[in-house]
Amino acid sequence: MKKNNELCNFDGYVPHEFIKDHFPYEKPRNLQLETTSKIYDAIEDGYKYIFLEAASGFGKSAIAITLSDIYSSGKTYILTTTHQLASQYLEEFEEYDLKKVEPRSNFPCLTKRNGSYCAIGSCKWSKCKYHPESRRYNGRYTCNFISQLEDGLNSSTVITTYSYFLSENFYSNGEFDEKYSNDFPKRNLVICDEGHNIDDKIAERVKLTVSFNDLKDLGINIKKELRELEYSDDYDFLLQKIRTKYRKELERKKPGSPSYVKTFMKLNKINKFLEHIGINKNNIAYSEDETAINFYPVITSNFAEESLFNAGNVFLFMSSSFFDYSSFANDLGIEKDEIYILRVPNIFDLSKNPVKIYKKYNMDYKNLSEYAEPSLEIIKEILDKHPNEKGIIHTVSTECMEYIKKNLNNSRLICHTTANRKEILDQFKNSNEPKVLVSPSMNEGVDLPGDLCRFQIIYKLPYYALSERVKLRSKTYKSGEDWYDYKMLTKLIQTYGRGIRFEGDYCKTYILDNRILGIIEKDLQGDELIPKYFIESMEVEKDK
C-alpha cells in the first residue's frame, strides 16, 4: 500500500478513461474525473478508509454515484443525514439503479389496528402474514416496509439515513438467532455523505434509552438512584442494576413468548451497550427527556465496528471539511495511516462568494440581550442591499428566529416550525418573490442552487448546544475549547456552502458574530486546520 500523503497530489495525474463512462453528467470537470479516478485507485490499492474533502457544490454526490456504478456488482450503501437528502439523490440520479430504504417507523404496521409501526421488528422473528416469506402469506396484502426494503436490497445502490443504518447494524440480534438479523447485509462500498458527522451520528444511534415506564415496571426509583449517584456519576453502576432487574424478569417469562422476546431485546440492548463501553466508566454521558433516560458513549471508537464497519469492505467519507484527520480517525478507532486522504483544491471564484465579517457584536448567549437590537440595523441594511434576491438568515436558535421575525417586521421574512420545515422550505423555493427564510436549522442538507439563495446572514455562530455528552467529549480533545470551535466551524463551512451549488454559482455570506475573528487568528497561529479557501474568502468590515 502506498503512503496516503503521496496520493493527495493531482499534478500530472491522468484519470482512467473508463471513469467518464460511469459519470452522470455528459461533461464532467477534469477535477471531478481526477478525483473519482484517484479514489478508484485507492480502492484498488487496498485502502479501506477514504476521506474526500471538497467544497460544497464541487459535485461530491456525482462522484458517489459514479463509484457506486463502477462497483455495482459488489453493491453500495449511500448514507445521508436526512431523508430529504436521500430523496435529492433519487431525483438527481433517477436513471441509476438507486433505491431509498426507510425504517419501519415510517410505515404503519398492518398487524396493528391503530396504524402504529412495528417498534420491535417482530416481522423479523414471526414473519407476519404480510411478509412474502411467511408461510401464512396469502399474496393479497404485502407490508409496504418489507416491499421497499426488498426492492432496495435487490438494487445495486441503497440510499438510507445514518439513523436507521447505524442503529439497525448495532442493535439487531442476529447473533442470537439468524431470524433476528440485520436489515442491511454487508456490501462492498459504503459512502458516508457529510461524513464529518459520523461521531455524533454513532453516539446518537447507539445511545441506550430506558423509558420511565420500564423503570417503573422494574421497580426502580430513578430519582432516588440519581441522588445516590450525585457525586460519583457512576452511570455504569446504574446500568448494571437495570440489567440485573431485566435478567430476573427474563427468568420469570416463558421462553419464546412475545413478552419474553420483548424483554430479551431490552436486555440485549443493555448488554451490547455495556460490552462496547468497556472498562472506562467515564465514557458514559447521561441525559433525561420527558419520557426516558438516555446513556451515550462519550468516545464512539468501540462502537464504530459494529454500527458501521461490519456493513462494508470499503468506506468513503465525504465532507467539505474534516479539520483534524487524526482526531477524526481516532473517533472511529482507526489509525491515521490506514486512511487515504484526498483534499480537492477550491474551484470557485472566491470574489463572487465573499464572507463579510462584522466586527462589533459578540453574539455569545451572554451578550445576546445587549446586541440583539443593534444587530437588527445591520440585518435591515443587508436586506436593503439585496432587494430583489432570495436569501437565508441562519439563527441557530428558535428564539432568535422569532425575535428577528417579530422585530424586523418585514414581509419578505418567512419562518418555520419543526413540523412544517419541509413545507415552508418548498414554499420558499417555489416563490417568485425575493423571500428571506429565517431558520435555526438550514445549515446542512439543504440545496439552494442559483437564484434560490444569493445571500445569507449568519446571525450567530453555530456552536453545539452544551449537552452532557458535548461537555465530556470536548474534554477528551487536546483542548476542549478547540474541539468546540472546530465542531462549530464544520457547521459554519457547511452553512457557507448552502448557496454555492455549482461552478459559476454565487452567494454572499455575512457573519454578524465577531467571535469568528479570534478563532481564525488562533488557527492561523496554531494548527492551520481551517481550509485556506474559506479564510481567503473573508473580508472584515472596515472601521467607520
- Give yes or no for residue 148 binding ligand SF4 (CB under 6 A): no
| 122 vs 157 by CB, closer to ligand SF4 | 122
Rounded to 10 deg, the angle between the 162-171 and 258-277 helix axes is 100
Residue 182 makes contact with ligand SF4 by CB under 6 A: no
Sequence-ordered list of residues with C-beta below 8 angstroms from that of 484, at least 6 positions apart, any chain: 463, 464, 470, 474
Of positions 47, 58, 145, 403, contacts ligand SF4 by CB under 6 A? 145
What residue ranges in 74-125 does DSSP mark as E strands? Answer: 76-80, 98-100
Smallest CA-to-CA distance from 107 within 136, 137, 141, 76 is with 141
Q: Which is nearer to ligand SF4, 122 or 443 (CB)?
A: 122
Site for ligand SF4 contains 143 (CB under 6 A): yes
Contact status: 170 vs ligand SF4 (CB under 6 A): no
Which stretch in 15-23, 105-113, 351-359, 499-507 sits in contact with ligand SF4 by CB under 6 A? 105-113
Give me the least distance between CB of 431 and ligand SF4, in Å please: 39
Sheet with 312-319, strands from edge to edge, namely: 98-100, 157-161, 76-80, 187-192, 312-319, 49-53, 339-343
Is residue 123 a contact point for ligand SF4 (CB under 6 A)? yes
Closer to ligand SF4 by CB, 19 or 143: give it.
Answer: 143
Residue 265 found at the interface with ligand SF4 (CB under 6 A): no
Q: What residues numbered 7-46 form the site for ligand SF4, per CB under 6 A?
A: none
Q: Which stretch binds ligand SF4 (CB under 6 A): 73-81, 102-110, 348-356, 454-462?
A: 102-110
The stretch among 103-111, 402-410, 465-473, 529-537 that binds ligand SF4 (CB under 6 A) is 103-111
CA 146 to chain centre: 25
Shortest spacing between CB 229 and ligand SF4, in angstroms: 38
Of 116-124, 243-251, 308-316, 446-454: span binding ligand SF4 (CB under 6 A): 116-124
165: nearest Cα among 80, 264, 51, 262:
80
Could you give the angle at the alpha carbon of 338 between the alpha carbons of 334 and 341, nearest 5°?
105
Q: What is the DSSP string of 12-27?
A: T----TTHHHH-SSSS
Q: Quick check: 128 binds ligand SF4 (CB under 6 A)?
A: yes
* Phi-psi label, residue 159: left if phi above 0, alpha if psi -120 to 50, beta otherwise: beta
Distance of closest approach, residue 132 Cβ to ligand SF4, in angstroms: 9
Best CA proximity match to 90, nearest among 168, 157, 2, 175: 157
User: Which lies closer to ligand SF4 via its Cβ, residue 182 or residue 300?
Assistant: 182
Report H helices in 93-175: 122-126, 144-153, 162-171
State yes or no: residue 296 binds ligand SF4 (CB under 6 A). no
What is the Cα 132 distance to its own chain's centre? 33
Does 520 bind ligand SF4 (CB under 6 A)? Our answer is: no
CB atoms within 10 A of CB 326: 10
Q: Shortest Cβ distance from residue 413 to ligand SF4 (Å)?
A: 42
Measured from the CB of residue 108, what is the shortest distance to ligand SF4 in angstroms?
8
101 is a contact residue toward ligand SF4 (CB under 6 A): no
- In 3D, which of 522, 405, 518, 385 has the Cα closest to residue 459? 405
Q: Which three cell numbers stand for residue 352?
A: 463572487
Q: How far is the CB of 131 from ligand SF4 (least distance, A)?
A: 4
494 sits near ligand SF4 (criterion: CB under 6 A): no
Nearest to 83 by CA among 108, 59, 62, 100: 100
Pick the stretch among 20-28, 106-114, 344-352, 388-396 that binds ligand SF4 (CB under 6 A): 106-114
Q: Is 164 in the site for ligand SF4 (CB under 6 A)?
A: no
Cβ neighbours of 2 (radius 10 Å): 12
Half-sphere exposure at residue 310, Cβ-oriented, CA atoms within 13 angstroms: 19
Segment contacting ligand SF4 by CB under 6 A, of 53-61, 124-132, 351-359, 528-536: 124-132
Report CA Rg, the chain: 25
The angle subtended at Cα 482 by Cα 481 and Cα 485, nearest 5°, is: 90
Q: Is 142 one of the binding residues for ligand SF4 (CB under 6 A)?
A: no
Q: Is 109 in the site for ligand SF4 (CB under 6 A)?
A: yes
How far apart are CB 25 and ligand SF4 at their closest, in Å? 39
Smallest separation (angstroms) from ligand SF4 to the CB of 180: 13
Q: Which stretch binds ligand SF4 (CB under 6 A): 39-47, 121-129, 180-188, 260-268?
A: 121-129
Nearer to ligand SF4, 113 or 542 (CB): 113
Give strand pairing partners of 209: 294
CB closest to ligand SF4, residue no: 123
Q: Coil, strand or helix: which one is 138? A: coil
Count Cα atoms within 13 angstroms, Cβ side, for 404: 32
CB nearer to ligand SF4: give 127 or 336. 127
Instruction: List residues binding ligand SF4 (CB under 6 A).
Output: 104, 109-111, 118, 122-123, 128, 130-131, 143, 145-146
